[in-house]
Structure 1
Amino acid sequence: MPSFDISRSRFRLADEHVIVLSELATGDEVPDEFAAAQKELLDCGLIDEDGKLSPLLLPLIETVLSPGVVISLEAAGRQGKLHHGMLIGADHVVAHEAWPGVPEAEYSCVEPKTLVWKLSDMVNLQRSQRSSAGPDTLPSVVETTIGTVEAGLAALEGEGIVQSAHDERAAIRQALATGGDLGEQALTLVADLISELRSSWRLTSAWQTHHEGQDAAETRGFAVWDCGPLGYWLRELPAEPVAEERITPASTFRLVRVEAKTIWTRITGLLPDEGELRDAAARQPGKG
């Protein structure tokens, strides 16, 4: 069910609710398949009988309909995949954060000066606690193939019930060994990283720009493994943004150990500068 918190300008909405609100805001008819979602919005007071949106929703919907910059965060962990993100509009910034096991995400307005802090919070960046995580003897680079890594990750989702962390690590190690492309030290490291993997995530940003006299899209991104006590590992290959159809089991997979401050710098680098923001805003529908 949708809900809202006036005190903090935040809303819990499923994709169906956002679709209904967008249709109503643009004056379009809501498809019959979204009738239940429309009734839920009516029941909670976010729209009235005539389909008029609550004034509380206006900053959110204006930004959803005309974002200048779209930032997407795809995170995967033991509770499944989650999709978070941020929309930067001409006048407002809206963040949306999913929650495991429920269809609604939390949408909230963000102070523009806190964008990097908000994105860092979304990925649970621990700057002070994780900068020097892991033993000094831990290798800083590991390279294998996509197929080998996927085999190791699949061991976490096996049919058998893992009785202990030791059994889980043994299952991962066995799955990795089938690839045959890892030496003993690398095999142990990758097995340890997968065992400690809290989440793997990728951040991408995109906005409209102008290049060689034509409209174009600027896209930036990077991906990270958060391995808890073993620290943060930047996925150098395949590099983001990457087209899924270009990835094969034989594609190179490379992780490089980094400090939290490196991730902070990468997050900052995702954002366009002031000139690019103005240009992106001017290219929104109905602008310029």
Structure 2
Amino acid sequence: MPSFDVSRSRFRLADEHVVVLSELAAGEEVPEEYTTAHKELVECGLIHRDGKLSHLLLPLMKTVLSPVVVISLEAGGRQGKLHHGMMIGQDDVVAHEAWPGQAEAEYSLVEPKTLVWKLADMVGLRQAPAAREAALPVVETTLGTVEAGLTALETLPPGGSADQERDYIGQGLASAGTLDGAALTQLTELISELRSSWRMTAAWQTAPGGLPAVEARGFAVWDCGPLGYWLRELPAEPLTADAITSATPFRLVRVDAKTIWTRITGLLPGEGEIRRA
């Protein structure tokens, strides 16, 4: 069920609720398949009985309908995949954060001056006191090999020990035939300690030569807990599914939290890069 917190301008909304609100805010009819979502929004008070939207939604819907910059954050971990993000409008900034196992995401208004801090918090960026030393600062292989190791982790029988988990992952990586020795051991450890892997992408409209176009920047990171942060340099972001195969080169490079902070800041476009409506 949708809900909201007036004191902090927060809203819990599923995708269906956002569709309904967007259609109404744009002056359109709500599609029949969203009748249940529409009823839930009326019952919680975000849509009045006369069909008008609550005034509380004005900054949120204005930004959702006309964002200047859209930031997408796709995160994967042992609890599955989550999609977070941020929309930067002319006047307001809206963040949305998913929760494992829940249909609703939390939409909240963010003070524009703190949006980089908010993005860093979304990925759990922390200045760790001391991460374990890694035998290799760079790991290179193929995407197919990495997928074999991750698949082994996903299919690991429940109740196994940490050593059994590493053996299972190592066997999956070795089966691809592209890694051995220190590199095989290192990637096995990284996957075993993997808290989350995520990719952050920013997109906005630009006008090269006067013609409207979309510009995008992005990067991807593995958060490996006690083994620290690893920047995925290859395949480089932003990428599309049809641009990669099992033979696509894959490279992880050990980085610190400061580097990731710099990367997040660097995603945001400069004033001269954005096409204003």
TM-score normalised by L of structure 1: 0.94
Structure 1 segment 1-288 matched on structure 2, within 5 A: 1-127=1-127, 129=128, 132-135=130-133, 138-158=135-155, 160-276=157-273, 279-280=274-275, 282-283=276-277
Q: Please list every run of at least 4 consecutive aligned residues from structure 1 whose deviation after the TM superposition is greater than 3 angstroms.
A: none
Percent of aligned pairs with the same amino acid: 70
- Deviations along 1:249-282, one digit per CA (max 9) or x if unpaired, are 0111100000110000000000112333xx44x2
Count residues with an aligned counterpart. Answer: 277
Task: Report the more deviating stretch, 7-16 or 22-31.
Answer: 22-31
**Unmatched segments (≥5 aa) in structure 2:** none
Distance 2:117 2:264 in 1: 9
Task: Report the more deviating stretch, 27-36 or 207-216.
Answer: 207-216
Q: CA deviation at 1:159?
A: 6.0
Q: CA deviation at 1:49?
A: 1.5
Distance 1:99 1:266 in 2: 25
Distance 1:218 1:170 in 2: 43
Letter in 2 for 1:42: V
TM-score normalised by L of structure 2: 0.97
Distance 1:159 1:183 in 2: 21
Distance 1:162 1:76 in 2: 22
- Give the corresponding residue for 1:286: none
SS in 2 for 1:212: helix
- Contact conserved, 1:155 with 1:175, CA < 8 A, in 2? yes
- Contact conserved, 1:162 with 1:168, CA < 8 A, in 2? no
- Contact conserved, 2:135 with 2:182, CA < 8 A, in 1? no
**Unmatched segments (≥5 aa) in structure 1:** 284-288
Distance 2:85 2:201 in 1: 9
- Contact conserved, 2:153 with 2:165, CA < 8 A, in 1? yes
- Contact conserved, 1:205 with 1:221, CA < 8 A, in 2? yes
Distance 1:75 1:211 in 2: 32
- Superposed CA RMSD in Å reads 1.1
